[in-house]
Amino acid sequence: MQELFKYLYENPEIEKLTGGDINDVFKVVDAEKQFVVKVNSKADFPLMFEKEKTGLELLNHTFKTPEVYRVGEYQNHQFLELEYLAESPKNDSFWLEFAKKLAKTHQKTEKTFGFHQDNFIGSLVQINDQKETWADFLIECRLNPMIEMAVNAGEVNYVEAKIIEKFYSRINELYPEEQPALLHGDLWGGNYLSTNEGPVLIDPAVYYGHREMDLGMMDLFGGFDAELFEIYNDIRPLEKNWESRIQYNQLYPLLVHLNLFGRSYWEQVLNILQKFT
């Protein structure tokens, strides 16, 4: 790792930041400029940072996102050099601003659900094949790949996994018909910052999907004030019974967590699906 920083900088001051299971994350000060540098294995996660750059730049049309300075490779590593943004306490208008920007993000649309390239959610490849309908995309690109992965890993057996098929048959009647919306794709409480410039989004897993998917992820692990959901609904009203659909939008992130962290998440998946048996 030291060789990488010698390659990138002349005389850097390096501070290890809290990262995750995938990346090593550093704050770097060099020539009085500050950067965030993310590093991981280019063999394990090919083109991950190129895809992250694409997502950050797409979301930057509505939200502030860290500017991407450099993406590259050195020996066995790949790196992403970002603008360093200092965090600050939320001001009184933080959630209002967040809601407005999220509503504007979700107004950006495409003809199909999906994206022009696959990307990553955590360390897992996220399949983004473009589909004409939300039901096809949700089944074929989100839920089925995660179920198959869990079965192949032995976290869930084939027989118990079949419970999700009853949900598949109901998707069209459960979800209101909407145009594909640009989504952050992994919008949990750890993927936004409060800064002097307002809310900042980081670590995207972008695609065009049903906008309630972002809301489901936001609700799943907390970190978002109830005021945000109320303001969002005032700005860009959701179809009736959206609160009851939140749980359906949590199936995908729960299955992602099951594949990343183990079977303990299957109980939450079952609690959602059992009403369809």
Given a cut of 90, whether residue 18 has pLDDT beyond it is: no
Q: Name residue 275's amino acid.
A: K
Q: Which residue has the tokens 């730049």?
A: 57
Per residue in 225-271, pLDDT tens?
Answer: 999 999 999 999 999 999 999 999 999 999 999 999 999 999 999 99
Q: What is the largest CA-CA distance in the chain?
A: 62
Count Cα atoms within 13 angstroms, Cβ side, for 235.
Answer: 19
Structural domain contains residue 136: yes
Structural domain contains residue 178: yes
Query: Residues 103, 134: one domain?
Result: yes
Cβ proximity of 64 and 34 under 8 Å: no
- The pLDDT of residue 67 is 98
- Domain edge (last residue) among 83, 109, 128: 83
- The pLDDT of residue 192 is 97
Query: Residues 135, 48: one domain?
Result: no
- Domain edge (last residue) among 25, 60, 83: 83
Structural domain contains residue 88: no
Query: Residues 71, 113: one domain?
Result: no
Per residue in 175-194, pLDDT tens?
Answer: 999 999 999 999 999 999 99
Cβ proximity of 178 and 77 under 8 Å: no
Query: What is the CATH classification number for the domain harbouring 146?
Result: 3.90.1200.10
Alpha-carbon distances of 261 from 27, 150, 153, 164, rounded to whole Å:
28, 11, 12, 20
How confident is the model over 37-55, as a mean pLDDT?
A: 97
**Whole-angstrom distance, CA of residue 149 vs CA of residue 147:** 5
Structural domain contains residue 76: yes
**Whole-angstrom distance, CA of residue 152 vs CA of residue 161:** 11
Query: Residues 128, 8: one domain?
Result: no
Q: Residue 79, Cβ neighbours under 10 Å: how many? A: 22
Query: Residues 54, 116: one domain?
Result: no
Query: Residues 240, 120: one domain?
Result: yes
Annotated catalytic residue within 21, 92, 186, 214: 186
Query: Residues 108, 33: one domain?
Result: no
> Which residue range forms the structural domain that includes residue 72?
2-83
Query: Residues 158, 199: one domain?
Result: yes
**Does the annotation count 92 as an active-site position?**
no
Per residue in 192-217, pLDDT tens?
Answer: 999 999 999 999 999 999 999 999 99
Query: Residues 54, 169: one domain?
Result: no
- Domain edge (last residue) among 62, 83, 104: 83
**Whole-angstrom distance, CA of residue 216 vs CA of residue 101:** 17
- The pLDDT of residue 277 is 79
Structural domain contains residue 169: yes
Tell me the three state secondary structure of residue 274.
helix
Query: What is the CATH classification number for the domain harbouring 66?
Result: 3.30.200.20
Structural domain contains residue 155: yes
Given a cut of 90, whether residue 164 has pLDDT beyond it is: yes
Alpha-carbon distances of 213 from 52, 151, 220, rounded to whole Å:
19, 24, 11
How confident is the model over 13-29, as a mean pLDDT?
A: 89
Query: Residues 193, 63: one domain?
Result: no
Tokens of 65: 């996102």
Task: Provide, rounded to the nearest whole percent, the portion of the chain with pLDDT above 90.
Answer: 94
Q: Which residue has the tokens 């996220």?
A: 126
Q: Which of 208, 239, 202 is nearest to 105 (CA)?
A: 208
Cβ proximity of 111 and 197 under 8 Å: no
Q: Which of 121, 103, 41, 49 is nearest to 75 (CA)?
A: 41
For the chain, report the end-to-end CA distance as a whole number of angstroms. 52
Query: Residues 49, 161: one domain?
Result: no
Structural domain contains residue 89: no
Query: Residues 69, 103: one domain?
Result: no
Structural domain contains residue 213: yes
Q: For residue 47, name the pLDDT band (cuts at 50, 70, 90).
A: very high
**Whole-angstrom distance, CA of residue 248 vs CA of residue 251:** 6
Q: For residue 93, name the pLDDT band (cuts at 50, 70, 90).
A: very high
Given a cut of 70, whether residue 19 has pLDDT beyond it is: no
- The pLDDT of residue 57 is 98
- Quote the number of domains for the chain: 2
Per residue in 22-43, pLDDT tens?
Answer: 899 999 999 889 999 999 999 9
